[in-house]
Amino acid sequence: MKIIDSCSQDNKIRRSLRYSICDGAAWAAMIGLTQDYVPAFALALRATIGQVALLSSIPNLASAIAQIGTPQLVHGIGGRKRLVLIVIFLQATLWAPVLLIPYFTPDYRVRWLIILFTLSMLCGNLANPAWGSWISQLVPQDFRGRYFGFRTQILVLTTLSFTILGGVVLKSFSANIFLGFTLLFGGAMAARFISWHFMHKIYEPPLPNTQVKFKLSHFLKEARFANLRKYMVFVAGINLTTNLAAPFFAVYMLRELGFDYITFMVVNGCATLGNFLSLSFWGNYADRAGNRRVLMLTSLFIPLVPLLWAINHNLYFLIPVQLLSGFAWAGFNLVSINFLYDATPAKERIACISCFNVANGLALSLGASIGGYLATHLPPFHNSSILSLFILSGLLRALVAAVMLRFREVRHIKEIKLGKSTSSK
């Protein structure tokens, strides 16, 4: 908690930063019980590869379109906190019908899962721009890497714990697998309500008095946004090429490799563990060397992960591969949002975060849609078209990293080398 104490001397802000960690931990519990297990649930419902693709593409598309209106919603509802509390309550509530899906008419189970999961993600993502603007005002710029690194470590450890719990539950209820999924999603609903409770306690600083009427046309044309546009194109490109393959790792493990839920949990949990172990390193390094440097380094590793999956499917080979994946994505995800906070003025931050999320939502949706088609049409590699898709995804990630990393660092960096302090920009 020393990191929190160093962020501000204001007791109200220090308390809020602690409550934010509690809120985040509860959110992470929900993620641990659902992130890897919703695709597994769809497969248990006998979803096709095309339906697995839709389970990723439709929620991302709907969320991207909806977030265009987030700035207007914030002002219409009367504040960032109020909007966040409303949509998070709705997200928590939506897990109730999801856990009842196994008792629906068999022919429509997967369709209902896609619809309800889309609504759940829509609510969660609607909160993101308002939450990002809100929390970024509470954390001083020079401490963002360390605070969010520390906070994310707590979240990742919680996610890992509940991912393990989810695997154990499903293994224990393998004879009645849908009861196991019901317990997971019931726990996710309870965790999100706990998250909502702690959000009530977080202080919301006032928005800047000078309000700017943000127009998408200005963002697309004005020179002052040129660097931010380059950055958004890069991140969207990485997300598009990643999501060509990401929805189908569960299909490959559970159907083609025949992994049981414990092995499935171990493989996914190793990525979360790698994430946890490296967050402190990336947070400190980002504060010293800058967010762009971290994005550049992690972009060297991210393309390797799907290529390594295509080489060997032995569990003892996949464990270090997943640790590498967690290491790379920990740095990338941590600094990608911090860069956005640094690059946007507070009075325009909600709108800029909305644009960022819209671009990434569209990229994720397009990637999953294209991947769903290619997963059944690419020539097989080692008797699997999904492995061919992994190889294509890795090569395209490398291409994006090589071609699109053209933006510049936006804040003053004091990098320490050989005991001496030097300044760079």
Domain ranges of the chain: 10-205+215-417
- The amino acid at residue 90 is L
- The amino acid at residue 324 is L
* Residue 250: CA count within 13 A, CB half-sphere: 24
Residue 367 tokens, joined: 């990637």
Question: What burial letters (b/e) apply to 129-168, b meaning 16+ CB within 10 Å?
Answer: bbbbbbbbbbbeeebbbbbbbbbbbbbbbbbbbbbbbbbe
Task: Say what the pLDDT of residue 419 is.
Answer: 41
Task: Say what the pLDDT of residue 425 is.
Answer: 30
Please return the burial class of 16, using the count of CB atoms within 10 Å of its CB with bins 0-12, 13-18 and 19+: buried
User: Which is more confident, 414 or 185?
Assistant: 185
- The amino acid at residue 333 is N
**pLDDT tens by residue, 371-422:** 999 999 999 999 999 999 999 999 999 999 999 988 988 876 665 443 443 3
421: enclosing H helix or E strand: strand 420-424
User: Which are the contacts of 404, defined by CB distance < 8 A and separation ≥ 6?
Assistant: 230, 233, 234, 237
416: enclosing H helix or E strand: strand 413-417
Please give the Cα distance from 198 to 20 (Å, whole number): 7
Read off φ and ψ for residue 381, nearest 5 degrees: -115, 120
CA distances to 122, 242, 418 from 363, rounded to whole Å, are 16, 10, 41
Mean per-residue pLDDT for 319-340? 93
When the pLDDT of each residue in the chain is averaged and rounded to a whole number, the result is: 89
**pLDDT tens by residue, 16-69:** 999 999 999 999 999 999 999 999 999 999 999 999 999 999 999 998 888 887
Task: Say what the pLDDT of residue 215 is.
Answer: 62
Strands 420-424 and 413-417: antiparallel
**pLDDT tens by residue, 165-183:** 999 999 999 999 999 999 9
CA distances to 52, 122, 360 from 65, rounded to whole Å, are 21, 10, 11
Of 238, 223, 245, 184, nearest in space to 405 by CA: 238
The CATH class of 10-205+215-417 is mainly alpha
Of 401, 118, 365, nearest in space to 237 by CA: 401
Q: Using only C-alpha atoms, what is the Rg of the chain? A: 21
User: Which are the contacts of 92, defined by CB distance < 8 A and separation ≥ 6?
Assistant: 189, 192, 193, 195, 196
**145 alpha carbon, distance to own chain's centre:** 17
* 353: pLDDT strictly greater than 80: yes
Of 311, 310, 305, nearest in space to 268 by CA: 305
pLDDT bracket for residue 423 (50, 70, 90)? very low
**pLDDT tens by residue, 100-138:** 999 887 888 999 999 999 999 999 988 888 888 888 888
